[in-house]
């Protein structure tokens, strides 16, 4: 074995930026993870010798392909699709598919890299991957979405498999899209296996997968608060987004006695000072999931609410914040505003919603900050349970799955405390805890394989 001496974090990041020019989201994600890990491995030469971080930050493979489809007017449209298989040291690649016009290789590489650590944290045997296309499902007819999904799967099918790579949903990919993609997979391969998760209950899906990410992010907040002998009950909460994760975060927060006063979409946010009830939330679910409407309409239906066009909700005073829309939605200024208004906890339902400077501001203020890879891991956790049910050809009952989800979130919290608690036990740095706990399992598996 040669002598790869310990490189500094700066040196490592310089090399990464040179090898991946212009991929700013990927640089950001790798830096956020590597900062605590370089500190952790400073006296662990084996990880340096075997170049573990260098290898995790180089995806096993990046597949990019053309997706050609025909719109309702008979025009030929061309999009680009990707699958990033980041690391399968501890299990088959696993991670969602995103359809959004902003999708590019940098965003998917950041997501696949993050997913590797997140999946490890769940304690289940899943590696990290992510995929998607720069396709905008907004405004498209059902038939157009179907044709797109079929064309996307016609290429993707050769790269995935229930023991190889198991995609799921993400932004722009919900039950409808998973159904179309699974239908095409089944048609091409003649197999009915658990190759995708987030499937409908009629064809192999798991109960509570739809709820799992939003519920999980709320449970993570509940666990962080409980560690400080506090609770969600009675707290004012600000939520961003109005898609899958946001809807079920709002539902669980409300059930636990929190008062949610905002939801948003990419056009703006609504502020309802009276707070959400289950009835109001059911109205939002119908608006977003069935009518595919805009959150602005909420303020027309519920007169006490106000719509704020082109803005994010972080200026609304709250004790708890749940960013559940997209990456980089809490900028440094937003973090400062939240702190100034008395926010004591943030649980990231979305992936990388807070910029690095914002995270530093939260950590400096010593508030409870649950980073995405820990806080939103409930979704992939239940996806892992869907894989187990598919392999065993059984379906677990809802009660059992609810218990398993709360256990997964409790265990992730405990791992973060184990690696993130300061020596005086006065503070838990959940960013450090989540990154190190996720890293150790993947790194040790890689050491076991030697150089591959």
| Contacts of 428 by beta carbon, 8 Å cutoff, 6+ apart | 224, 227, 368, 416, 417, 420, 421, 422
Q: Which residue is nearest to ligand NDP (CB)?
A: 243
| 95 in Cβ contact with 168 (< 8 Å) | yes
Using CB under 6 A as the binding rule, whether residue 167 contacts ligand NDP is answered as: no
Q: How many residues bind ligand NDP (CB under 6 A)?
A: 22
Using CB under 6 A as the binding rule, whether residue 213 contacts ligand NDP is answered as: yes
- Which of the residues 339 through 378 are near ligand NDP (CB under 6 A)? 349-351, 376
Minimum distance from residue 367 beta carbon to ligand NDP (Å)? 21
Give the nearer residue to ligand NDP in terms of CB position, either 53 or 168: 168
Give the nearer residue to ligand NDP in terms of CB position, either 351 or 435: 351
Spot the catalytic one: 130, 199, 235, 288.
130
Interface residue with ligand NDP, options 41, 126, 145, 171 (CB under 6 A): 171
Q: Which stretch binds ligand NDP (CB under 6 A): 10-18, 145-153, 222-230, 264-272?
A: 264-272
| Contacts of 134 by beta carbon, 8 Å cutoff, 6+ apart | 79, 80, 100, 101, 102, 103, 104
How many whole angstroms from its chain centre is CA 7? 30
Q: Which stretch binds ligand NDP (CB under 6 A): 141-149, 188-196, 230-238, 260-268?
A: 260-268
Q: Per-residue contact track with ligand NDP, 127 to 166, x per CB under 6 A?
A: ----------------------------------------
**For 24, what's the count of Cα atoms within 13 Å in the CB-facing half-sphere?**
4
Give the nearer residue to ligand NDP in terms of CB position, either 53 or 237: 237
DSSP letters spanning 70-112: E-TTS-EEEEEEEEEEEE-SSSSEEEEEEE-TT--HHHHHHHH
Classify the C-alpha dihedral 349-351-357-359 as positive or negative.
positive
Taking each helix axis as running N to C, give the angle between helix 356-364 and helix 24-40, from 0 to 180 degrees, rounded to the nearest 10.
40
Cα–Cα nearest to 84, from 104, 67, 102, 60 = 60
Minimum distance from residue 29 beta carbon to ligand NDP (Å)? 12
Using CB under 6 A as the binding rule, whether residue 223 contacts ligand NDP is answered as: no
| Strand pairing class (306-309; 165-168) | unpaired
Task: Give the residue carrying structure tokens 């499902």.
Answer: 137
Minimum distance from residue 242 beta carbon to ligand NDP (Å)? 4
Interface residue with ligand NDP, options 24, 28, 189, 266 (CB under 6 A): 266
Catalytic residue status for 340: no
Taking each helix axis as running N to C, give the angle between helix 398-420 and helix 209-227, from 0 to 180 degrees, rounded to the nearest 10.
40
Give the nearer residue to ligand NDP in terms of CB position, either 169 or 258: 169
Binding site for ligand NDP (CB under 6 A): 169-172, 213, 241-246, 265-267, 324-326, 349-351, 376, 379
Residues with active-site annotation: 130
């Amino acid at each position: 074995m040669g002598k790869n001496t310990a490189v500094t974090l700066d040196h490592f990041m310089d090399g990464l930026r040179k090898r991946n020019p212009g991929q700013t989201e990927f640089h950001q994600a790798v830096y956020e993870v590597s900062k605590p890990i370089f500190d952790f491995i400073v006296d662990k030469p084996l990880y340096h010798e075997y170049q573990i971080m260098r290898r995790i930050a180089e995806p096993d493979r990046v597949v990019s392909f053309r997706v050609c489809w025909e719109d309702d007017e008979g025009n030929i449209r061309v999009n680009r699709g990707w699958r990033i298989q980041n690391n399968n040291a501890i299990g088959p690649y696993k991670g969602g598919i995103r359809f959004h016009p902003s999708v590019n290789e940098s965003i998917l590489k950041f997501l696949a890299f993050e997913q590797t650590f997140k999946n490890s944290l769940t304690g289940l045997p899943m590696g990290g991957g992510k995929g998607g296309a720069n396709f905008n499902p907004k405004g498209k007819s059902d038939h157009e979405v179907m044709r797109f999904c079929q064309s996307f799967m016609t290429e993707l099918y050769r790269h995935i498999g229930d023991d190889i790579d198991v995609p799921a949903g993400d932004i722009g990919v919900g039950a409808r899209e998973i159904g179309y993609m699974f239908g095409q997979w089944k048609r091409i391969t003649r197999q009915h296996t658990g190759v995708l998760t987030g499937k409908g209950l009629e064809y192999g899906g798991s109960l509570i997968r739809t709820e799992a990410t939003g519920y999980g992010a709320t449970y993570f907040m509940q666990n962080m608060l409980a560690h400080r002998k506090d609770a969600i009950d009675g707290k004012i909460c600000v939520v961003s987004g109005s898609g899958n994760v946001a809807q079920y975060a709002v539902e669980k927060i409300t059930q636990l006695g929190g008062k949610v006063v905002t939801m948003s979409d990419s056009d703006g946010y609504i502020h309802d000072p009276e707070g959400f009830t289950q009835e109001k939330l059911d109205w939002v679910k119908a608006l977003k999931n069935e009518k595919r409407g805009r959150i602005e309409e909420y303020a027309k239906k519920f007169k006490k609410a106000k719509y704020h066009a082109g803005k994010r909700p972080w200026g609304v005073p709250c004790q708890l914040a749940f960013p559940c829309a997209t990456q980089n939605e809490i900028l440094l200024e937003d973090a400062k505003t939240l702190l100034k208004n008395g926010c004591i906890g943030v649980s990231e339902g979305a992936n990388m919603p807070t910029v690095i400077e914002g995270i530093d501001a939260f950590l400096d203020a010593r508030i409870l900050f649950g980073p995405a890879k820990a806080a939103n891991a409930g979704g992939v956790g239940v996806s892992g349970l869907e894989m187990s049910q598919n392999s065993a050809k059984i379906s677990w009952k809802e009660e059992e799955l609810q218990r398993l989800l709360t256990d997964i979130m409790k265990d992730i919290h405990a791992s973060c405390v184990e690696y993130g608690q300061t020596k005086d036990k006065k503070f838990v740095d959940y960013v450090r805890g989540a990154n190190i706990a996720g890293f150790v399992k993947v790194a040790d598996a890689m050491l076991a394989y030697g150089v591959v």
